[in-house]
Amino acid sequence: MNTLEYLLVIVALTALLVAGTTTAIQQLTRTKPSFSYLKLHLLIEVAASKPYTVLETKIYIPEGVILKFTDNKVTVEGTVFEYTLIKKHDYYNIVAYATTNTIQYKVKFSNLELKGGHTYRLLLKSEPSKITIMVLDYN
């Protein structure tokens, strides 16, 4: 091999190294929104404390996570609740108990299941002993 061929091989290997490093950095630094139930919990607190309240919010459910509202429980699959924060922010004493995957409230909910990979726009309507949660849209 002559000098020109060595130079071309070095340039090609350098280009491959730069492309590989750039791709690796992009993959490692790509951030996905995380699941935080606390915002929704605080809205449930407000709705439960003030009957006939109507609230609208957006919540992102990450891929692989399912959030279920049934009777007076909220359960999560695929991740865990920040249940110590939920207990800490139970200002109106509406949480009966909280674990890493279940929160039982002292109010009832409409049955609803939110599957991961979407941002949901929700409407919360409160009555004296029930909170109706409706999906307005999602993407």
Q: Which amino acid is at 64?
A: G
Cα pseudo-dihedral 112, 114, 120, 126, rounded to 10:
30
- Quote the CA–CA distance of 108 and 72 in Å, as a whole number: 4
Is-contact 42 89, C-beta < 8 A? Answer: yes
pLDDT at 27 over 80: no
Q: Which tokens hold the place of 102?
A: 């279940």
pTM, full prediction: 0.73
- Quote the CA–CA distance of 67 and 71 in Å, as a whole number: 13
Q: Which tokens hold the place of 28?
A: 């490692």
- What is the tens place of the pLDDT at every residue in 123-135? 999 999 899 999 9
Question: What is the C-alpha end-to-end distance of the chain, expressed in Å?
Answer: 57
Q: What is the pLDDT of residue 31?
A: 56
User: What is the DSSP-derived secondary structure letter of residue 9?
Assistant: H
- What is the tens place of the pLDDT at every residue in 59-100? 999 999 999 999 999 999 999 888 889 999 999 999 999 999
More confident residue, 34 or 42: 42
Q: What is the pLDDT of residue 29?
A: 67
Q: Taking residues 45-69, report their average pLDDT.
A: 94
pLDDT at 114 over 80: yes
